[in-house]
Amino acid sequence: MTTQPLQFVPGSEFKRRAAKVVADPFLKKSFRGAMDFLMAKRAAQFPDPELLERQRTLAEHIRRYSLARMPQLLEQLEANLVKNGVKVHWAENSDEANAIILGICRQHDAKLMVKGKSMVSEEVELNHAMDAAGIDALESDMGEYIVQLAGEKPSHIIMPAIHKTKQDIAKLFAEKVPGVAYTEDVDALIQVGRDVLRKKFMDADIGLSGVNFAVAETGSLCLVENEGNGRMCTTVPDVHIAITGIEKVVEKLEHVVPLYGLLTRSATGQAITTYFNVITGPRREGEKDGPREMHLVLVDNGRSQAYADEQLRQTLQCIRCGACMNHCPVYTRIGGHAYGTTYPGPIGKIVSPHMMGLAATHVLPGASTLCGACGEVCPVKIPIPDLLIRLREEATHDAKPGHAPLVGQGAGKTTFASLAFKGFAFLYSRPALYRTFVWAATRFRFLTPGKQAGWTDSRTPLKPAAKSLRDLLAERENRGS
**Can residue 35 be called a binding residue for ligand SF4 (CB under 6 A)?**
no
**Smallest separation (angstroms) from ligand SF4 to the CB of 37:** 17
According to the binding rule CB under 8 A, does residue 334 interact with other proteins? Answer: yes
Query: Is residue 123 involved in binding other proteins (CB under 8 A)?
Result: no
Per-residue CA distances from 233 to 2, 61, 91, 134, 200 (Å): 21, 32, 22, 20, 10
Q: In what order do the strands lie in the sheet with 293-299?
A: 86-91, 293-299, 239-245, 206-209, 112-115, 136-139
> For other proteins, which is the closer residue by CB, 173 or 339?
339
Q: Which is nearer to ligand SF4, 31 or 331 (CB)?
A: 331
Mark 270-309 with x for binding to other proteins (rule: CB under 8 A) and - for no binding.
----------------------------------------
Find the shortest distance in angstroms from Cβ 380 to ligand SF4: 5
Q: Which is nearer to other proteins, 274 or 418 (CB)?
A: 418
**CB of residue 357 to ligand SF4, shortest distance in Å:** 20
440 lies in the binding site for other proteins (CB under 8 A): no
174 contacts 181 by C-beta, under 8 angstroms: yes
CB 154 within 8 A of CB 144: yes
Residue type for position 339: Y
Identify any residues that bridge with 215 across adjacent strands, giving them in sequence order. Answer: 220, 250
Q: Which of 9, 197, 299, 319 binds ligand SF4 (CB under 6 A)?
A: 319
Distances (CA, A) of 67 to 142, 246, 318: 32, 10, 11
Element (H, E) at 174: helix 166-176
- Binding segment (CB under 6 A) for ligand SF4, from list 248-256, 287-295, 317-325, 466-474: 317-325
The reply to whether 44 sits near other proteins by the rule CB under 8 A is: no
Q: How far is the CB of 419 from ligand SF4 (least distance, A)?
A: 34
149 contributes a contact to ligand SF4 by CB under 6 A? no
**Binding at 304: pick from other proteins, ligand SF4, none (beta carbon under 5-8 Å per type):** none
Q: For residue 178, report the phi and psi dihedrals to the nearest 5 degrees.
A: -60, 135
Beta pairing class for 213-215 and 220-225: antiparallel
Measured CA to CA, the distance from residue 299 to residue 221 in angstroms comes to 15
Least separation in angstroms between residue 458's CB and other proteins is 4
Interacting positions 347-386 with other proteins (CB under 8 A):
366-373, 375-376, 386
Distance of CA 270 to the CA centre of its chain: 20
Residue 418 CB, shortest distance to other proteins, in Å, is: 8
Residues 6 or more apart whose CB falls under 8 angstroms from that of 233 comprise 114, 115, 116, 140, 201, 204, 207, 208, 209, 240
Which of 10, 13, 15, 283 touches other proteins by CB under 8 A? 15
Q: Which residues contact 344 (CB under 8 A, 6 or more apart)?
A: 155, 156, 157, 325, 331, 335, 336, 337, 338
For the segment 408-437, give every residue that binds other proteins (CB under 8 A): 417-418, 421-422, 424-425, 427-429, 431, 434-435
CA dist., res. 385 & res. 10, Å (int) = 22
Nearer to other proteins, 136 or 376 (CB): 376
Q: Is 442 in the site for other proteins (CB under 8 A)?
A: yes
320 binds ligand SF4 (CB under 6 A): yes
Residue 382 interacts, among other proteins, ligand SF4, none and using kind-specific CB cut-offs from 5 to 8 Å, with: ligand SF4
Residues 6+ apart with CB under 8 A from 426: 433
CA 118 from chain centre, in angstroms, equals 12
- Measured from the CB atom, the residue of 198 and 470 that comes closer to other proteins is 470
Q: Taking CB within 5 to 8 Å according to partner kind, which of ligand SF4, other proteins, none is near residue 152? A: none
Cα gap 477→232, rounded to integer Å: 80
Number of residues that bind other proteins (CB under 8 A): 66
x/- string (CB under 6 A) for ligand SF4, residues 366-405?
A: -----------xxxx-x-----------------------
- CA dist 422 and 400 (Å) reads 18
Task: List Cβ neighbours of 249 (8 Å cut-off, separation of 6 or more).
Answer: 66, 70, 73, 74, 77, 214, 215, 216
**Rule CB under 8 A: which residues touch other proteins?**
15, 18-19, 22-23, 28, 329-330, 333-334, 366-373, 375-376, 386, 389-397, 417-418, 421-422, 424-425, 427-429, 431, 434-435, 438, 441-442, 452-465, 467-473
